[in-house]
């Protein structure tokens, strides 16, 4: 499970600029894929071999009752609840403003936290004089750190500092016979209702498992011969205590659940259709390399159930999630129970694909055929040569291709090979990774 680093601050201090800059500095562990939602608010990052999840709280949609200040404050609250490290961003040119103090107040109210005060927009060291007034926030471990997100100054030092504050990694429960399931989606999409519907089924046996983080409650389920763990159901099983769903089960919390899962159920509201926030959540599941099932909930309220109506809806979802074309789509109603039993069946199937192993000779035969049918294109006189391949791992299936020059494996050819693998073996619901390595 990745620790969470959250970026907070009043509007316009450069939170999203810093987010993007920090991501640029990471070692690329996931190849970038066209179609993954562009204005992301969370992403997995890596620095010096440590992975963490970076969150730009400025982009989180929260329900704000009293305008913009309230909005910033609630975003900060979210971050405080869930983050391991908080980056409090201020503007080094404007100095300390009352709105910064409000954000700081929220952080202080939460008790001792690992906070780094990041003084942004220090594009020029002559502006450093401003730095010291930020001690006035009474926050932060160590000195405020000057950076320029726009020019990439001070970013490496900041990452080093973040690293010293990350908690030690927890050992993963690597029991392959259990399917670990996370239920994610926007507030009100029906996560609690669905978890309750599954746990309420006659043929499941339910038990609580002490959670690994704070008040996370994992629930073990046995059905037929299969075992499942529903991750972090806290707030889903007991309802009604806390008014705001976003606090009951916040976005950051959902991301942590995804990190610990094998399969994510991505819930979408049949009436509202696919939203930007849904795409962001799905993009995160994809990048985290987890298997997924797209679950359209509230199907009982969906109006046009003619063939064309259903097709138009499903096409719309597919179109909006181009990077996840491998995921099954289920239409269900948590309220009426329609097709709810299908979910565990589909989890079984998808989890099987997620752990699937292809024997090396079969894999090499398939790739040889694929290359014969459609050889890699030559670019400026150079052409990719694939010498041999082997499966380097599962969960998700990861294939190592030993080649003359890894830079010659272009996106379209990678896609072609991936499609051939899927035609031959399915891999329903799971991402697959192709890693090109230079043969020495």
Q: What does the binding site for ligand GDP look like in residue numbers (CB under 6 A)? A: 9, 11-17, 58, 120-121, 123, 148-150, 185, 187-193, 245, 297-298, 300-301, 333-335
- Nearest-approach distance from CB 58 to ligand GDP, in angstroms: 4
CA dist 36 and 388 (Å) reads 29
| Closer residue to ligand GDP (CB): 190 or 396 | 190
Taking the least distance from each CB to ligand GDP, the nearer of 50 and 335 is 335
- Work out how close the CB of 362 gets to ligand GDP at its nearest, in angstroms, rounded to a whole number: 42
To ligand GDP, the closest distance from the beta carbon of 353 in angstroms equals: 26
CB atoms within 10 A of CB 310: 15
Which is closer to ligand GDP, CB of 81 or CB of 188?
188
Nearest to 21 by CA among 92, 93, 70, 87: 87
Nearer to ligand GDP, 44 or 193 (CB): 193
CA distance 313 to 158: 45
Which C-beta is closer to ligand GDP: that of 284 or that of 323?
284
Indicate the residue among 235 and 431 with the shorter CB distance to ligand GDP: 235
Query: What's the CA gap between 234 and 231, in Å, rounded?
Result: 9
Instruction: Single out the residue of 418, 414, 415, 393 nearest to residue 403, CA to CA.
Output: 414
Nearest distance from residue 285's CB to ligand GDP, in Å? Answer: 16
Query: For residue 65, how many C-alpha atoms fall within 13 Å in the half-sphere facing its CB?
Result: 3
Closer Cβ to ligand GDP, 56 or 262, answer by number: 56
Least distance (Å) between residue 269 CB and ligand GDP: 8
| 183 contacts 267 by C-beta, under 8 angstroms | yes
Q: Residue 107 CB, nearest distance to ligand GDP (Å)?
A: 16
* Long-range contacts, 198-207 (Cβ 8 Å, 24+): 198/230, 198/340, 198/343, 198/344, 199/230, 199/237, 201/340, 201/341, 204/344
Q: How far is the CB of 82 from ligand GDP (least distance, A)?
A: 16
CB neighbour list of residue 292: distance below 8 Å, 6 or more residues apart:
263, 264, 265, 266, 282, 285, 286, 324, 327, 350, 429
| Min dist. Cβ of residue 245 to ligand GDP (A) | 4
Of 121 and 180, which CB lies nearer to ligand GDP in the complex structure? 121
């Amino acid at each position: 499970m990745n620790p969470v680093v959250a970026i907070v601050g009043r509007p316009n201090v450069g939170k999203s600029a810093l987010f993007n800059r920090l991501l640029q500095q990471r070692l690329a562990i996931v190849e970038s894929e066209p179609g993954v939602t562009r204005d992301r608010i969370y992403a997995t990052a890596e620095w010096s071999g440590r992975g963490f999840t970076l969150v730009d709280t400025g982009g989180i949609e929260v329900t704000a009752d009293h305008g913009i200040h309230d909005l910033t404050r609630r975003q900060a609250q979210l971050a405080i609840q869930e983050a391991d490290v908080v980056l409090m961003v201020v503007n080094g040119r404007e100095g300390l403003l009352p709105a910064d103090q409000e954000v700081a107040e929220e952080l202080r109210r939460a008790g001792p936290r690992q906070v780094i005060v990041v003084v942004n927009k220090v594009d020029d060291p002559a502006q450093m004089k401003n730095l010291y007034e930020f001690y006035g926030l009474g926050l932060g471990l160590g000195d405020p750190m000057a950076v320029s997100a726009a020019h990439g100054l001070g970013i490496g030092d900041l990452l080093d500092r973040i690293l010293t504050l990350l908690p030690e990694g927890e050992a993963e429960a690597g029991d392959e016979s259990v399917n670990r399931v996370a239920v994610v989606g926007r507030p009100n999409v029906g996560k609690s209702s669905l978890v309750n519907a599954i746990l309420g089924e006659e043929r499941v046996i339910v038990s609580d498992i002490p959670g690994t983080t704070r008040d996370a409650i994992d629930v073990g389920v046995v059905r037929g011969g299969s075992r499942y763990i529903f991750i972090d159901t806290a707030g889903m099983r007991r309802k009604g205590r806390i008014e705001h769903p976003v606090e009951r089960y916040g976005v950051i919390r959902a991301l942590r659940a995804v990190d610990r899962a094998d399969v994510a159920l991505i819930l979408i509201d049949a009436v509202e259709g696919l939203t930007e926030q849904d795409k962001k959540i799905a993009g995160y599941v994809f990048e985290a390399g987890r298997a997924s099932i797209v679950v359209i909930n509230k199907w009982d309220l969906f109006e046009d159930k003619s063939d064309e109506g259903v097709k138009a809806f499903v096409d719309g979802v597919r179109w909006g999630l181009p990077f996840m074309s491998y995921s099954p789509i289920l239409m269900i109603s948590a309220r009426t129970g329609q097709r709810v039993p299908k979910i565990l069946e589909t989890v079984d199937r998808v989890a099987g694909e997620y752990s699937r192993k292809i024997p090396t000779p079969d894999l090499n035969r398939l790739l040889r055929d694929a290359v014969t049918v459609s050889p890699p294109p030559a670019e400026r006189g150079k052409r990719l040569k694939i010498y041999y391949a082997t499966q380097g791992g599962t969960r998700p299936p990861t294939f190592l291709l030993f080649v003359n020059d890894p830079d010659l494996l272009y996106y379209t050819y990678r896609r072609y090979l991936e499609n051939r693998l899927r035609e031959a073996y399915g891999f329903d619901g799971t991402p697959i990774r192709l890693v090109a390595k230079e043969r020495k």
